Structure 1
Amino acid sequence: MNILIISCWYPSDENPAQGMFVHEHAKAMTAAGMRVRVLHFNTYPSSDIYRRDVYSEEKDGITVYHVQIHSRFHKAVLLMKNHLENRLVLAMDTILEEFSPDLLHAHVVFQAGILARRMSRIFGIPYVITEHWSGLDWFSKAFYMPVRQARRAYRDAAGVSVVSGFLAGRMREYMRVDRDIEIIPNVVDTELFAPALANDVHVKSSAATAPENEEQVNMLCVTSFGKGRKVTKRPELLVAALVLMPDDEKKKYHITIAGAGEGLEAFKKLVDENNLSSRVVMAGFTPPEKLAEMMRHADVLPI
């Protein structure tokens, strides 16, 4: 089967951590014997009024087509469905020259699911939607968002899946999805992300630079510093907790922060202002292999 994944969320030079799970999904499909291409489109903040970059690349053996729009009005551009539709039609014309998809697989209803429905109608290819998004509650109430179009996208899809039962409930509550929803958790490499054995020697994370201390608690926080509308992880609370501790208690904790994004520099500044650079280490964007090793050697994973 030939599958074309359509997603706003996908790793790119602008944000290497965004949508890693979508890429892992693509890799899993490929490993299962399917032929996969990816059409990734998104808008990014820029000092330019409007600039469009269209290119393709090979990522882990998967061809990825990028349609990236850089603009100081990037949020408004993301709402311009007709404009995005025209851009995706052009990209589809290019893809169809070398690939004939049997199925379009959209990740997240806004805007990928909405536009997959349009591509399905234009090119006569069925589509499915996999939902990952925790923002359906506010999305459904925002007057400027294409809520009706999103509901139609769910309704007309050949299939709808979601990564958790909790999100399935939110789809029914906020988006009025009245159809079968398949719950399929995100793909995880269980051989790579496996806990350390009890008899393993406890070695500190290679990303940490903590001094030897038998009583020390090594914490690993995996997060994103992307500046979105809603913050779902609050690494600054770890800093606030350290600030409240007396010095002798503070010395017992060493925190490694794995993650990247626009807000990382502001977080580094917060750490420096509170003289905590010896307690809090920034690992930045961390590849899965390194991250799995760091997790095995952490005492606590605050989420």
Structure 2
Amino acid sequence: MLGLLLLLQVLVSCLRLGYSEVVPSFKTSCTKFFYEKTPPSDSLRPTNAARICQVYDNKYRFATLYDRNRRIPVYSAYKYQPGKGSRYDRWFVEPQLINQNYRRYMDTEDSIIDTYGITSADIGKSQAIDQDYVDAQGLDRGHLCPSGHQTGDDNKTATFTLTNIVPQYSTLNQGAWKEYEDITMAQKTQGCDTTYVITGAVPGNTDISNGRVNVPSHIWSAACCVKCNKPLRAWGAIAENERSKNKVKVLELLDLENRLAGLYGGKGVTLFKNACARNKAHILDGEASDDFSTCQRITGY
């Protein structure tokens, strides 16, 4: 009886933990975080990529394309839904990046080590670990899917996985990029029913932790605003991730895609299917109306 009770306790604990699925394609899994269920073009995909459906408490929270070699995410895709909730104070890693047969839920290093009898070095072969960031001078653990863009304890907690983190200079992370996340996004999403966001990092030429974790050269973000199931507007933002730089450039989606094409070696970049609202951008900007009449103008009904 005691053994059965202990087993039940473990099962309940597992259900409460987040878990992440490393999947073969975003086109069939956790598609709801991409506009029209379509991920960005493959031009962003690195050689040794992993697609992660980030789940917490049995619910999909966001999606991440992860670079195993550089040990940083390429991008995280999510829905913008800021609200109240508590920040998490520990960091998760991804068991299925270590071994596809390991459990699906994101977990702490200590728990994985105890469960599978492996070491932090074993975990670190496929991803960043906590130690990688301990001595990173002047660098923060920069969220691609930020906790501030989520609502509720569970949604916020799910963002605290190192598969969603890049080394971001503190001057930028706590300065202009924070202003973009907290203020600009709130302003530009006014009137949107749903805003799809893809935030990414361009690989740089420097590393931390003895070459283990890449420091991105740029941080970028793109947003697609949907109203009444129709694209309303889209925009982008990009910033150089340098110690002496603290500036975010807000620009049109097409301009961001063109800049990224250059940064990713000249390959064409498409972030949203049909470019979201490229041809409809700012149609309703500045128009004051209630939701019903706005939907009438967009849909024709």
TM-score (norm 1): 0.29
**Greater Rg, structure 1 or structure 2?**
1
> Greater RCO between the two (CA within 8 Å, min separation 6)?
2
Relative to the length of structure 2, the TM-score reads: 0.29
